[in-house]
Amino acid sequence: MKKRILGIDPGLATVGFGAINWQRSQGKIQDTTVQMVDFGVIRTSADDNMVQRLCILFDDLHMLMEELQPDLVAIEKLFFYRMANTIVVAQARGVLMLVLGQRKLPYVEFAPPQIKQALTNYGKADKAEVQDAVMRELDLDEIPKPDDAADALAVALTASFQL
């Protein structure tokens, strides 16, 4: 069985994405492989108004889905820092959910502690430990940059562990 999993780290200024291919041989858990396909970010400018920024996200997310053709999308759940920041991220996340709905793509969501637990076996791991786990799991020579892209790969890997 094969699946392409797209991890998303939602935001308004920066949306991280990371795609992996997951493959398992005929029901054998020990014969599972994971390979990094692509990673990066979608950025919007603070110089643009909110409507323009959400439209950019909408268009770019559609292009991303078209390009990567995911079978499953994994999204990091909102983590509440400051109320003002949470509201704008929630608006950007709403655009993401709309795109997924229009494309009829299945998705799963994980809270930050779930992602940390899945990758490091410690739900309060720091960012460096998670990034090291991403590098190790995907057999990479260096940590993907920027951090939002590495976070998105961590979300995708968390989803792959559930398959």
For the question of residue 31 being annotated catalytic, the response is: no
For the question of residue 76 being annotated catalytic, the response is: yes
Radius of gyration of the chain (CA): 15
Instruction: Mention every residue, 6+ apart, whose C-beta is less than 8 A from residue 91.
Output: 12, 50, 54
Is there a contact between 17 and 39 (Cβ–Cβ < 8 Å)?
yes
User: 60, 137, 148, 151: which is the annotated catalytic residue?
Assistant: 148
User: 60, 76, 137, 151: which is the annotated catalytic residue?
Assistant: 76
Q: Provide the β-strand partners of residue 50.
A: none
Strands 2-9 and 72-76: parallel
User: 9, 60, 137, 151: which is the annotated catalytic residue?
Assistant: 9
Side-chain half-sphere of 73: how many Cα atoms within 13 Å? 26
For the question of residue 66 being annotated catalytic, the response is: no
Active-site residues, by number, are: 9, 76, 148
